[in-house]
Amino acid sequence: MNKDFKNWHNKKTILHNTNSKVFFHEREIWWCSLGLNIGFEQDGNGPEFQRPVVILKKFNNDVCWVLPITTKPKTGKYYFLIDLGDNIQRRVILSQLRLVDGKRFLDKMTTLPENQFNKLYQAVKAL
């Protein structure tokens, strides 16, 4: 599969140079410009190279750990099913934990209910 890394690099340069500041918190789900990545690393889609992510741990006002979300029917210990109440089955990809800068956040979707977030957090710790 050919990937257009040059297009992603141009987008990444724009994101890096932006001065916009978003306010984010743990448990929130955001559209995030994850980019075009290597091998089996989770890619973003569309012109913004975006994918929904859940914020697992906020370290400061700029960076946090996120976990990407997929709607593909995956099973196993590296996937955690979440329910956002819209009848779409989503899974958090536990093995793809990564640090991101808040500049990558495009649009807030929702907040994961606290009980689901606590179970997700425990699943990550269990790995």
* Residue 30 scores a pLDDT above 70: yes
Compare 40 and 71 and report the one with higher pLDDT.
71
Domains identified in the chain, total number: 1
- Output the domain CATH number for residue 114: 2.30.30.110
Q: Phi and psi (nearest 5°) for 102? A: -60, -20
Provide the whole-model pTM: 0.88
* Residue 50 scores a pLDDT above 80: yes
* Residue 79 scores a pLDDT above 80: yes
Whole-number mean pLDDT of the chain? 89
Tell me the pLDDT tens digit for each residue of 98-110: 999 999 999 999 9
Report the DSSP pairing between strands 79-82 and 63-70: unpaired
The CA distance from 105 to 120, in Å, is: 21
123: left (phi over 0), alpha (psi -120 to 50) or beta: alpha
Compare 47 and 24 and report the one with higher pLDDT.
24
The CA distance from 8 to 80, in Å, is: 28
Q: Give the residue numbers spanning the domain of 20.
A: 5-126
Could you tell me the pLDDT band of residue 40, with boundaries at 50, 70 and 90?
Answer: low
Compare 80 and 43 and report the one with higher pLDDT.
80
